[in-house]
Amino acid sequence: MSIVPNSPALAEMHHGAPCWVDLATTDLQATVDFYTGLFGWYYSDVDGRTVAVVDGLPVAELVAAPRASAWTLYLNTPHARATAEKAHALGGTLLGEPTEQVTLLADPTGAVIGFRRAGPDWLFGTDGHGAYAWAELNTRDGQLADEFFHELCGFEVTQIGDGQAVDYTLWAIQGHTVLGRQRMGRAFEPGTPPHWMVYFTAAPEIGTDSVATRVLELGGRVTVEPYDTPFGRITVVADHSGAVFSVIDPSRATPLTDDDIGARIDDPNDE
């Protein structure tokens, strides 16, 4: 299950809103070639960083590193070091020394998330083929995740499942949905660690199915075949190195009705 945020423009301005994604890779050129072939990304060298561009706006960063990693989501914060200290006090684990600009940590359920300071001039494209579309936390302890991020970022938490068979919450800022949280169930392989799933947009004229086919042509894998949801047509894929991400065509979405939405949880700590 997933949903597309209703106000992606919040990404640059509000504490806790998505503001960046990056991928560490041991073969930068091969990774550049894969995503160029898949999404048509162009690249800019920004102070030695390889930044992908869609329609003139930066959408992601590819990082040369000794070890490859999954796609990492970053949330906006006015002060990364202070956020790191608060996260640690709430039960998170710091992954390296934070700076005033950026910090990387694991929440109490074990999923890795980044925070970085995105000033008023920060740019993060969220429109167009291959741009960021959505992200959701997949974890086995949904309540703990809701509580942690509510305290850390002030998210408004709304349950849209029944909380039992389907436990999926939306996290919002000032009424604008920005992220999702899903409790992992039997659909996930045993031993799958908690993780964030990053979604990229498939343009309607291209479509999710064509993107999935192109992934295979470029040496990647389709881990979940394209399927329809009320929020768009989705596929889950892995790139040539095994980094997993999702692709969604939001034009195939239908709006949620009031009957689909559970009661808002103003404070997850309330009994």
Domain ranges, ordered by start, for the chain: 8-119+126-265
In whole angstroms, what is the distance from residue 271 CA to residue 268 CA? 8
Question: What pLDDT shows up at residue 266?
Answer: 38
Asked whether 199 and 244 are in contact (CB, 8 A), the reply is no
CATH number of the domain located at residue range(s) 8-119+126-265 in this protein: 3.10.180.10
| 3-state secondary structure (DSSP) of residue 18 | strand
Element (H, E) at 199: strand 195-201
- In eight-state DSSP terms, residue 192 is P
Angle at CA of residue 236, ends 230 and 241, nearest 5°: 160
What is the C-alpha to C-alpha distance for residues 106 and 95, in angstroms, rounded to an integer?
7
Distance, in Å, from the CA atom of 35 to the CA atom of 7, rounded to the nearest integer, reads: 26
| φ and ψ at residue 82, rounded to 5 degrees | -65, -40
Whole-number pLDDT of residue 260: 53
In the block, which residue shows the tokens 């964030």?
196
Cα 106 to Cα 102: distance, rounded to the nearest angstrom: 14
Distance CA 103, CA 88 (A): 12
Asked if residue 16 lies in contact with residue 75, where contact means CB atoms within 8 angstroms, the answer is yes
Q: What is the pLDDT of residue 256?
A: 59
pLDDT value, residue 8: 43
Give average pLDDT by consecutive 10-residue segment, the chain, 271 residues. 42 80 97 98 92 96 94 96 98 96 97 93 93 97 97 96 88 94 90 96 97 98 94 96 97 67 42 35
What's the pTM?
Answer: 0.89
Q: What pLDDT is stored for residue 259 in this prediction? A: 56
pLDDT (0 to 100) of residue 189: 87
